[in-house]
């Protein structure tokens, strides 16, 4: 969705009514348009700002079910924060996801590349990053593949966290990319080595 803040101007053509400018704005953008400031209609002797026209455009724009996914401020405000979801999770496709939660923000690095060669691209497997927001048991993310792996894609995901079973489940995918590989994620607890449990 394209959200415009401040003043948006539209020049009326000869004989146009101000509604024509509103319709023109609707028809010339492939993205949803929301005007949050003043829409100024100029031309044909009418250059007074028209708030009703701005409201008209905003009221017809479709609304997304996913809110703000920005995770920028959280780490700045609480750089050492560690939330409940922080840790390593294993995807049902065999990938490992290194997750960090700070407040209601979340990030991950996921990969199934087993022997990473530093500095090389297109290594066998995938590697991706994601960031988003946690809202109760719902997690909305935007993800993108990195050139570390041999595939490039991206899109949106919604996961649901089952605290009782400590499991994340994919319930929605957004975008035209192929289905995201993992459908569930379980917390990974590496087995302790035998030497670690032996008393000196």
Enumerate the β-bridge partners of residue 127: 111
3-state secondary structure of 25: helix
Is the same domain home to 85 and 24? Answer: no
Q: How many CA atoms lie within 13 A of 99 on its CB side?
A: 28
Domain-embedded: residue 176: yes
pTM of the model: 0.63
Single out the residue of 40, 31, 32 nearest to residue 8, CA to CA: 40
Enumerate the β-bridge partners of residue 7: 38
What percentage of the chain's residues is helix, strand, coil (to nearest 5)? 15, 40, 45
Is the same domain home to 158 and 181? Answer: yes
Domain-embedded: residue 192: no
| Residue-wise pLDDT tens digits, 119-140 | 999 999 999 999 999 999 999 9
pLDDT mean over 189-199: 59
Maximum mean pLDDT: which of 1-5, 75-79, 196-200: 75-79
For the chain, the domain total comes to 2
Q: Which domain holds residue 91?
A: 72-187
The residues, any chain, with a CB within 8 Å of residue 30's CB and separated by 6 or more, are none
| Residue-wise pLDDT tens digits, 46-84 | 343 344 443 443 333 333 456 666 666 677 778 888 999
Is the same domain home to 33 and 80? Answer: no
């Amino acid at each position: 969705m394209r959200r415009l803040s401040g003043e948006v101007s539209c020049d009326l053509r000869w004989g146009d009514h101000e509604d024509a400018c509103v319709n023109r704005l609707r028809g010339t953008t492939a993205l949803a348009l929301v005007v949050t400031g003043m829409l100024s209609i100029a031309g044909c002797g009418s250059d007074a700002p028209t708030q009703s026209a701005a409201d008209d455009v905003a009221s017809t724009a479709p609304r997304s079910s996913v809110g703000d996914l920005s995770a920028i401020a959280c780490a700045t405000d609480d750089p050492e924060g560690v939330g409940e979801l922080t840790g390593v999770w294993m995807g049902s496709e065999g990938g490992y996801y290194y997750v960090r939660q700070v407040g209601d923000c979340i990030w991950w690095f996921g990969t199934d590349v087993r022997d990473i060669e530093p500095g090389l691209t297109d290594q066998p497997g995938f590697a991706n990053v994601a960031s988003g927001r946690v809202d109760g048991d719902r997690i909305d993310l935007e993800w993108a593949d990195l050139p570390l792996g041999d595939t490039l894609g991206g899109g949106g995901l919604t996961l649901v966290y089952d605290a009782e079973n400590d499991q994340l489940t994919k319930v929605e995918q957004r975008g035209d990319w192929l289905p995201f590989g993992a459908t569930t994620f379980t917390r990974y607890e590496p087995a302790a080595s035998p030497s670690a449990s032996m008393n000196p």
